[in-house]
């Protein structure tokens, strides 16, 4: 098994980091800061209460994937050497 290229994973971390920064920045907060409630809850509160756990879920999924990838890197595909009996 060859060594995997971690560049796409690193690029995805950077993309999702900037997506999270943009999500919690002025333009998007201004878009969702409306007087129209949804089920009696302001739209901005719903946006934050859905967006924040969603960003945490993305970080969790990436950490699980990264953990599996590092585990695969250290698992040897060769059988253990035979033990010699004296």
Tens digit of pLDDT for each residue in 59-70? 888 888 877 766
| CA contacts within 13 A on the Cβ side of 16 | 17
- Please state, rounded to an integer, the average pLDDT across all residues of the chain: 79
What's the domain range around 15? 7-74
In a domain, 2, yes or no: no
Give CA separation, 55 vs 19, 43, 48, 83, in Å: 9, 18, 10, 50
Residue (of 58, 48, 42) closest to 23 by Cα position = 48
Question: What is the pTM assigned to this prediction?
Answer: 0.62
In a domain, 81, yes or no: no
Tens digit of pLDDT for each residue in 47-56? 999 998 998 8
In a domain, 12, yes or no: yes
pLDDT at 16 (0 to 100): 84
In a domain, 83, yes or no: no
In a domain, 26, yes or no: yes
Number of domains in the chain: 1
């Amino acid at each position: 098994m060859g060594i995997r290229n971690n560049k796409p994973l690193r690029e995805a971390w950077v993309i999702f980091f900037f997506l999270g920064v943009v999500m919690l920045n002025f333009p998007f907060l201004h878009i969702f800061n409306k007087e129209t409630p949804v089920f009696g809850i302001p739209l901005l509160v719903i946006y934050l209460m859905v967006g924040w756990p969603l960003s945490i879920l993305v970080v969790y999924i990436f950490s699980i994937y990264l953990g599996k990838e590092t585990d695969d890197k250290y698992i040897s595909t060769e059988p253990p050497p035979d033990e010699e009996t004296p």
